[in-house]
Structure 1
Amino acid sequence: MTAEYQVNGAVAIITLNNPPVNGLGLSTRTAVVEGVRKALADDAVKAIVLTGAGKAFSGGADIKEFNSPSAFAEPSLHTLINVVEGASKPVIAAIHTVCMGGGLELALGCHYRVAAIGAQIALPEVKLGILPGAGGTQRLPRVVGLELALNMIVSGTPVASEKLAKTALFNKIIEGDLMEGALAFAASIADARPLPKVRDIKVDYPNYEAFLQFSRNTVKAMSGPYPAPLKCVEAVAASVTKKFDDGIKFERDLFIELVQTTESKALRHAFFGERAASKIPDVPADTPVRSIKSAAVIGAGTMGGGIAMNFVNAGIPVMLLETKQEALDKGIATIRKNYENTMKKGKLTQEKFDQRVGMISGTLNYADIGQADIVVEAVFEDMGVKETVFKKLDEVMKQGAILASNTSTLDVDQIASFTKRPQDVIGTHFFSPANVMKLLEIVRGKATAKDVLATTLALSKKIKKTGVVSGVCDGFIGNRMIEQYSRQAGFLIEEGALPEQVDKAVEKFGFAMGPFRMGDLAGNDIGWYIRKRRYLEKPEITYSKTADLLCELGRYGQKTGAGWYDYKAGDRKAYPSALVNDMIIKHSADIGVERRKISDQEIIERLVYSLVNEAAHILEEGIAMRASDIDMVYLTGYGFPVFRGGPMFYADTVGLPNVLMTMEKLAKGRHGDAWKPAPLLVKLAAEGKTFN
C-alpha cells in the first residue's frame, strides 16, 4: 500500500508510504482518498491526521507521470485536495522533514497544519520549468502573505518550518514527538466548527499593483530564457486579482502551458538524467562499498588542490604529496587562500575554516600516504609520468585502497597495467576548477572491480558531484566530443569567422563560454600538447593549424596574459586581439582559403552537430551507457545551456532527420570528411526515433 490507514482513539491516521519521498502518484492519491472516505464513514472517528512515513511528509507530485496519462487520471491531485478540503471532519497535516511541491499543496488543502522543527517547506516547481499546478500559487499567499509567497514560488528555495512559525501556514510548531503532538492537537479541535479553509482567506496587500509590477520587472530581468519565473508572478498575482476558483483555473492553464515548453522538458530531462547516471546495469544498488575515511592526492597544483578541497568539504582528511617543498607549500597556501576568500564572502565560518584547513596535510614521501583509503593522481597529462606514479603507488598503498587517475584523455587500462592490482584502478576526471565544477567523469577500466565503481559513484555524491560513468577511449565522453567541436571552431576561423564572432554566437545560443574564451581559460598549451600526440597517433585526422601558431607565439591564455584574446592585469575580460586576427587572416591566405561571411546559424550548427555526431559514435560503442549520460556530462562540465537539455536532447528537439539533413549539406563543404554521420544517428533518423 502507498498509504496506510489506522485509528488511534478517535483519530484516523493516514500515512503516505511511497518511498523515497512519498511522491503523490496515482496509487498514493487513490489510497489517501479511500482513507479519508473511510474515516468520514466511521462515526467513532472525530478527526483525521495526514502524515508521511520515513524521511518525508511528501516531496510532491510524481514527475515521472508528467508524460503519461496517469498524471491527470482520477483522482488527480486537484481532486485529492478537494476531497481533503471538503471533508466534514477536521483534517490535520502533520508535517516533518520534507514538505514540497504537491506535498505542500496537499497540506494547504488540509484544515490545520502542525509541523516539526527543521521541516523543509518549498514549492520548487520553477526549477523544473513549471509552476505549482494544484493550488499552490493561490493558497500559499493566503497564509504567508503575497511577498513571501512570491519569493518562495519564484525562487523555489526551501524555508525551514520554524521560520514560518508566525505565519498562518502552521497552527502549531511541535518541538517533541510530532505524532504525539498532532494527536493532541487533533483532540483539541475535533469539535471546532466551522472547519477553516485556506481558500476563504483574503490576500491583503496594500498597493499590490505597484508591488506586482516591480516583481514582473525584476523577474523578467533575471529569468533569461526561462518562461516559468514570470508565469509564477502572473499566477501569484491572480491570488489577489481573481476569485479563488478563477485563480485556480488560471494557475492550471499556465501549468499546462509550461509543461509543454521545451525549457521545462529540458529541465525535467536533466533532473532524471542526473538520477539515472548513478544506475549501472551490472552493478546492483546493494553492491557493498569500500570505506573512504581518508584520501591522498598526488600533485598540489591547481587541479590537485581543487580535488583535495572536495574531500575536505565532505569531511574527509587529505594528505597532499609533492616532489618539492616549495610546490607543496604553494599548493597548501592556495587552498588556504581559497577558503579565506569564501570566509570573506560570509559563506564559511571561522570554525569551519579552521576545521577544513586542519584536515589538510602535506608530504614529500610516498610512504606517508600508504594508509589512505583512496589516492587520486593529479600530475601532468603524460603516460610516462603516470607510469612512474602508479608503479610507486602500487608499492606503497595498502591493500584495498582505490587508485584513481585524474587523467582527462589517457588510457586508464594502460595506467592500470602499471600495477599488480588493476581491479583497484579507476579514472576520476575532475573538471577545472575542481572545487567548483559539478561533473566527475568516472572512467571504468576493463578490470575495475564493481565495488570500486560503486564506491566511486557513492563518493561522487558525498563530495557533491554528478558522477557519470564512461568506458575507456581517448578523451572518454567529454573530451572526445570536444575535440570535434574544437576542430570545427578552428575550421570556422580559417574560413572567415574570427574568435569573437564564434564565441558570441555560441554564448547567445546559451553556452557559458565560447570555444576560444574556454581555450584561454583552460590554457591553450594543454590542447596543443594533446594535439601533438594525436598528430602522431592519428595522422589521417585534419586540424586547423591556427591554434598551433597561437601557441608558438606563447599565447597560452589568461595565465600568460594573452591567448586568442588580449588580457589586462587583474582583469579577466577578453579583449579582441588585432595581432591574433591578423595572424588568422594571413594563415587563411597562406593555405589558399578564400575567406567568406559565415552566419551565426552555421557556427551553431557546425559546433553543436559535431558534438552530436561524435556522441552518437560514443553511444554506439558503449563508451556511454545512455544518451542522458552524455547530456549530463555537457550540462555539468562543459557549460551547455541547461534550457536546451544537453546536445542529445537538443538534437531530439530539432529532430534527428533535420540534424542529418544539415550534416549532409555540410559534408559538401570544406573538410566534408568530418561530417560522415554516425551509423546510430542514421538508423534513429530513418526509424523516426530519438536518442532519449
Structure 2
Amino acid sequence: MSNVVSYEVVDKIGVITVDSPPVNALSQAVREGILNAVTTAQNDDSEAVVLLCAGRTFIAGADITEFGKPPLSPSLPEVIAAIESSNKLVVAAIHGTALGGGLETALACHYRCAVPSAKVGLPEVKLGILPGAGGTQRVPRIAGVKAALDMITAGNPVPAAAASDMGLIDEVLSGDDLKSAALTYAKDLVESGALLKRIRDISIDPASVEPGFFEQYRKKLARRARGQIAPDAIVTCVEAAVNKPIDEGLAVEREEFTKLISSPESKAMRHAFFAEREAAKIKGLPKDTPLRDINEVAIIGGGTMGGGIAMCFANVGIPVKLLEISDEALERGLGIIRKNYSITVKKGRMSEADMAKRLELISGTTSYDDLSSVDLVIEAVFENPDIKLEVFGKLDSVCKPGAILATNTSYQDVNLIAEATKRPQDVVGMHFFSPANVMKLLEVVRGDKTADDVLATVMKLGKKIGKVCALSRVCYGFIGNRMLQGYGRQAHRLLLDGATPAQVDAVAEKFGMAMGPLAVGDLAGLDVGYKARQARTDIKHDPRNHCVATALVEMDRLGQKSGAGYYKYDPETRARQSDPEVEALIKQKAAELGVEQREISDEEILDRLFFPLINEGARILEEGIAQRPGDIDIVYLYGYGFPVAKGGPMFYADQVGLQRVYDRICEFRDTLDADSWQPAPLLEKLAKEGKTFADWAQENA
C-alpha cells in the first residue's frame, strides 16, 4: 500500500496496519494509505476489515504541521467517507490513544474495540479549534448531547471502560495480543450476521434536548474558557447535530473549523502547544546526557509548599521523607497532606486505597541524619537567605555523594546557595508554584556550576511528576517573578492615577486573566508583598509603587484572609465588592504624593499592565536568562494564569506588533515615569528592524 500503511488478508479478515512512528499521526501518506487499503478491500475475498496500528498507540491525531498549509489530498473527511461507506464491516482496534482525527477515523468504522488501557478523546479545543472530520456530529449521535459536549469542550481523554459506557467503544478486549483479539472479534461479528452499523444513520430527536440547554451550556463555558472562541463554536456544531441532517451538520462543522483554524486564538494556542515541547529541551545539552537515579526524595519544610511538593512525588510512586524542625510542626505538615488527599477522595477523583498508598510513601523526620540515603533533596523553607544557607550547609554534610540538592526559592541567588556547599555542581533551583500539587509549572534554575546531568535529570523528573518545565538562569525572581514586578507596579500606579481597583481588575479579567492583579494580591495576602519589600534593604523603594498596599496592611486589611483588602469580602461566599473606604484612601495617598488623578481608559490600563511584562521579557532574553521567547510564554501560561488564547506575553507582543509596543512604552516614558518605562534594547532593535520575537528565536535557535 505505502511505506506507512500495509494491507493483508488474514483468515478472511482484511488487516490495515498503520505504522508511522512515533504516534501514527494522520499525515497525507497515512491518509492515502488507509484510503487505498479500504478501496482494495472492497474487491478482494476478505469478509471484514480491521484497522489497527503498530507501535505504542492507535492514531493519536492529525499531523498538526500541516495546519495553515494548502490542503493535501486525500483529506481526512474523504478517508472517513470511504470507511463509512465500505460494503464490508470495518472494525477499529484501538490501543494507546485514539485522539482527534484518530477517534474520528474510528467513529467512521462500523464497530470499535479496544484494549482496557486504551483512551479516546477529541483534544482539538486545546489548540483553539474543533474536531473537523465529523467528531461534533458523530459523538452526540452515539454518546448523547451532554456527554458529547462535556467531552469535546474539555478535550480530555476518556478511558476505555468509560468510553464503552458512552457507546464510543463496542467491545473492551481481553488479553494482550491486540491483533489476535481484534481478528477474533471481527470474525464473531461476521458469523453473527452483524449489520453495517453507521453512526451517520442515527438521528437525534430535538425534543430530547431541554429548551434553553444550549444557551445555558454556553454561559457555563464563557465562565470557564475565558477568551477562547472554540468552545462556543463546538456548541454551535453539536446544536446542528441535533437539528440538522448529518451532511448539513458536517457542513456547519467544516465552516466553523475553517474559521477557527485561521483565528488569532488558535494560532496562539498552537504556539503554546509547540512552545511547551520546545521548553523541555536545553540548548547545548546532548540528548544522550546520562541521568541520575531518583528513587527517594526528601523535602525540607512541611508547610503548604513543602507538603504539596511531597504529594507530587508520592503521586508517581516515589518515596518521600518530609523534614521539619519539631514533631509538632511535622505532624501539622503531614496532617495538611492527609487533608488535601481527603478532599480529592471526597470529590471522587481518588479512591481511599490510592490515598492510603500515597500516604504510605510519605514519612516524616526531624533529623537531617535520616536524609543520608536520598537521591534528591528539595529545600522549601522560608524565603530567608540565612536560613537557606544554613540548610544547605547541613545537607552538604549529611547527603551522599551525587545527591541533587535543590532549592525551591522564588527569588534568591542559587549561586550563593550553592557556595554554602562543597558540591555546587549538584545544586539547582526547582521553583514550584503554589499549590505545588496542582500548579503545573516548574521553573528549573541553572546555577553557574550546575552539572549537565543534574539539569537533564531534573527536567526529566519534572515531566514524570506532571510538571511543565522551563529553564531559567540566575537572577532576582528568575523569569516569572522578575517580570511580574512591573505588572504589579503598574496596577498600583494606575490606582494613584485615577483608576479604581474594580476597573483595573475588570480590564485584566476581560483580557482573559482568571483574576486581576489586585484581586490576586488579596487572595495571596497583602502582607506577603509587604514582608518581601521590608526584606529588600538593597534597593530604594518608591512609595508610588506600594503606598496603598502598605497602608492597607497597616490597617490590618490583609486581603481575603482578613475579610478585607483592596475589596471587602463576604464572610460566607468570599464574593468581593468595592469599598468606598479604599477608594478614599487611594485619593488621599495620591494627594499626599502630588499625583493629579484623571480618568483612565481601558486601553491604557491594558497596555500599562501587560507591556511591562513584554519589556522585561525582552531584557531576560537579551541577558540569556531565558532560552527562548516561547519559554517565557510557557512560564506565564502555566505559572501566572496568562490566557492561553493569547499565547503568552511574548507571542501576544508579536501579534500586537513590536513597533506599537515600543512606541507605547516610549510614550509612557515621556509622560508618566522615565525610570519605569525605559524600553529594553532588544525590543527597540527588533521594532526598528520590523522583526518579531519569533524571528529572534529562529535566528538564535
Provide the TM-score with structure 1 as the length reference.
Answer: 0.91
After TM superposition, give the deviation of residue 406 of structure 1 in Å: 0.7
Task: Give 1:457 deviation, angstroms.
Answer: 1.5
Aligned to 2:60: 59
Query: Does the 8 Å CA contact 1:426/1:445 hold for their aligned counterparts?
Result: yes
Tell me whether 1:356 sits opposite 2:355 in the alignment.
Answer: no
- Of 523, 528, 531, the residue aligned with 2:533 is 531
User: Structure 1 stretch 445-454 or stretch 502-511: which is displaced more?
Assistant: 502-511
Residue aligning to 2:377: 375
Give yes or no for contact 2:18–2:52 (8 Å, CA) kept in 1: yes
Matches within 5 A, 1:175-186: 175-176=174-175, 177-186=177-186
The aligned runs of 1:279-298 (5 Å cut-off) are 279-298=281-300
Distance 2:571 2:138 in 1: 53
Identify the residue that residue 97 of structure 1 maps to in structure 2.
96
Q: 1:156 maps to what in 2?
A: 155
| Residue-by-residue CA offset, 1:108-140 (whole Å, 9 max, x unaligned) | 223443333342222232332222111222333
Q: Deviations along 1:238-291, whole A, 9 cap, x unmatched?
A: 334434333322221111012122222222222222222212222344433222
- Distance in 1 separating the partners of 2:167 and 2:594: 75
1:452 aligns with one of 451, 454, 457: 454
2:73 corresponds to = 74
Give the structure 2 partner of residue 198 of structure 1.
198
Amino acid at match of 2:180: E
- Residue 533 of structure 1 and its aligned partner are, at CA, apart by 5.0
Conserved? CA contact 1:216–1:230, under 8 Å: no
Supply the distance in 2 between the matched residues of 1:436 and 1:391 (Cα, whole angstroms): 30
The 5 Å alignment of 1:458-607 reads 458-532=460-534, 534=536, 536-537=538-539, 543-553=545-555, 555-559=557-561, 562-567=564-569, 572-607=574-609
2:67 partner amino acid: F
Kindly tell me: are residues 146 and 391 of structure 1, through their superposed partners in 2, closer, same or farther at Cα, counting changes over 3 Å? closer
Distance in 2 (alpha carbons) for counterparts of 1:564 and 1:55: 53
Cα contact 1:57–1:97 (8 A) shared by 2: yes
**C-alpha distance in structure 2 between counterparts of 1:94 and 1:264, whole Å:** 31
**C-alpha displacement of 1:89:** 4.8
**Is the CA contact (8 Å cut-off) linking 1:85 and 1:197 kept in structure 2?**
no
**Which residue of 1 is the match for residue 83 of structure 2?**
84
Letter in structure 1 aligned against 2:74? P
Query: Offset at 1:610?
Result: 0.7
Aligned partners of 2:349 and 2:264: how far apart in 1? 35
Alpha-carbon displacement from aligned partner over 1:121-166 (angstroms, at most 9, x marks no partner):
2223233222211122233344445554444334434333344547
One-letter identity of the residue aligned with 1:613: N
Contact 1:303 1:434 in 2 (8 A): yes
1:549–1:444 Cα change, 3 Å: same
In the alignment, residue 595 of structure 2 is paired with which amino acid? V
Alignment of 1:197-346 (within 5 A): 198=198, 201-205=201-205, 207-208=207-208, 210-211=209-210, 213-224=212-223, 225-346=227-348
Between the aligned partners of 2:542 and 2:594, the Cα distance in structure 1 is 20
Describe the shift of the 1:262–1:342 C-alpha distance in structure 2 as closer, same or farther (beyond 3 A).
same
Cα distance in 2, alignment partners of residues 141 and 570 from structure 1: 39
1:586 counterpart SS class:
helix
Which segment is superposed worse, 92-101 or 348-357? Answer: 348-357
One-letter code aligned to 1:526:
V
Match in the other structure for 2:115: 116
Contact 2:214 2:239 in 1 (8 A): no
Contact 2:206 2:242 survives alignment (8 Å)? no
Alignment-derived partner of residue 49 in structure 2: 48
1:542 and 1:622 map into 2 onto residues whose CA distance is: 31
Q: Quote the offset at 1:60 in angstroms.
A: 1.5
Instruction: Give yes or no for the alignment of 1:22 onto 2:24.
Output: yes
1:180 aligned counterpart, secondary structure? helix
Structure-2 change in CA distance of 1:159 and 1:287 (3 Å): same
> Does the C-alpha gap of structure 1 residues 463 and 139 become closer, same or farther in structure 2, counting only changes over 3 Å?
same
Measured on the aligned residues, the alpha-carbon RMSD in Å equals 2.9
Among 605, 608, 612, the residue aligned to 2:614:
612
Distance of aligned partners of 1:531 and 1:91 in 2 relative to their CA distance in 1, 3 Å threshold: same
State the shift of 1:426 in Å.
0.7
Deviation at 1:434, TM superposition (A): 2.0
CA-to-partner distance for each residue in 1:645-664, whole Å, 9 max, x for gaps? 22122222222222222222
Contact in 2 for aligned 1:402/1:424 (Cα 8 Å)? yes
Q: Give the match for residue 698 of structure 2.
A: none
Q: Give CA-to-partner distance per residue, 1:12-43, whole Å, 9 cap, x none.
A: 422222233211122322333344455557x4
Range with greater deviation from structure 2 (250-259 or 172-181): 172-181
Contact 1:91 1:110 in 2 (8 A): yes
For the residues of structure 2 that align with 1:435 and 1:346, how far apart are their CA atoms?
17
SS state at 1:663 partner: helix
**Structure 1 residue 554 displacement after superposition:** 5.1
Query: CA distance change for structure 1 residues 570 and 138 in 2, over 3 Å: closer, same or farther?
Result: closer
Tell whether the 8 Å contact from 2:383 to 2:412 is kept in structure 1 after alignment: yes
Distance 2:573 2:210 in 1: 38
- Matched-pair contact (CA < 8 Å) for 1:470–1:477: yes
**Matches of 1:192 and 1:341, distance apart in 2:** 48
Cα 1:586–1:119 change in 2 (3 A) is same
One-letter code aligned to 1:124: P
**Distance in structure 2 (CA, Å) of the matches to 1:113 and 1:344:** 34
Please give the alpha-carbon distance, in whole angstroms, between the structure 2 residues aligned to 1:166 and 1:309. 32
Q: Distance in 2 between matches of 1:112 and 1:622?
A: 54
Q: Is the 8 A contact 2:221 2:232 kept in 1?
A: no
1:428–1:589 distance in 2 versus 1, CA, 3 Å:
same
Higher mean C-alpha displacement, 599-608 vs 189-198: 189-198
* Mapped contact 1:520–1:563 kept (Cα < 8 A): yes
Q: Compared with structure 1, are the counterparts of its residues 326 and 117 closer, same or farther at alpha carbon in structure 2 (3 Å cutoff)?
A: closer
Look up the match of 2:35. 33
Partner of 2:699: none
Q: How many equivalent residue pairs?
A: 688
Structure 1, unaligned runs of 5 or more: none
Contact 1:141 1:203 in 2 (8 A): no
Partner of 2:682: helix, strand, or coil?
helix
- Between the aligned partners of 1:269 and 1:541, the Cα distance in structure 2 is 39
**Higher mean Cα deviation, 174-183 or 389-398?**
174-183
SS at match of 1:315: coil
C-alpha spacing 1:345/1:45, structure 2 compared with 1 (3 Å): closer
* Pair 1:542–1:402, CA change in 2 (3 A): farther
Residues 1:472 and 1:567: Cα distance change in structure 2 (over 3 Å): same
In structure 2, do the counterparts of structure 1 residues 78 and 391 end up closer, same or farther at CA, with 3 Å as the change threshold? same
1:278-314 CA distances to partner (integer Å, 9 max, x unpaired)?
A: 1222234443322222211111222222222222222
Structure 1, residues 363-403: CA drift from partner, whole Å, max 9, x if none?
Answer: 22111122111111111212222111111111011111110
| Range that drifts further, 394-403 or 574-583 | 574-583
Q: How far does residue 493 in structure 1 lie from its aligned partner after superposition? A: 2.0
**Percent identity (aligned):** 50
* AA of the residue aligned to 1:49: V
* Residues 46 and 191 in structure 1, CA contact (< 8 A), matched pair in contact too: no
Q: 682-691 or 529-538: which moved more?
A: 529-538
2:17 alignment partner, SS class: strand
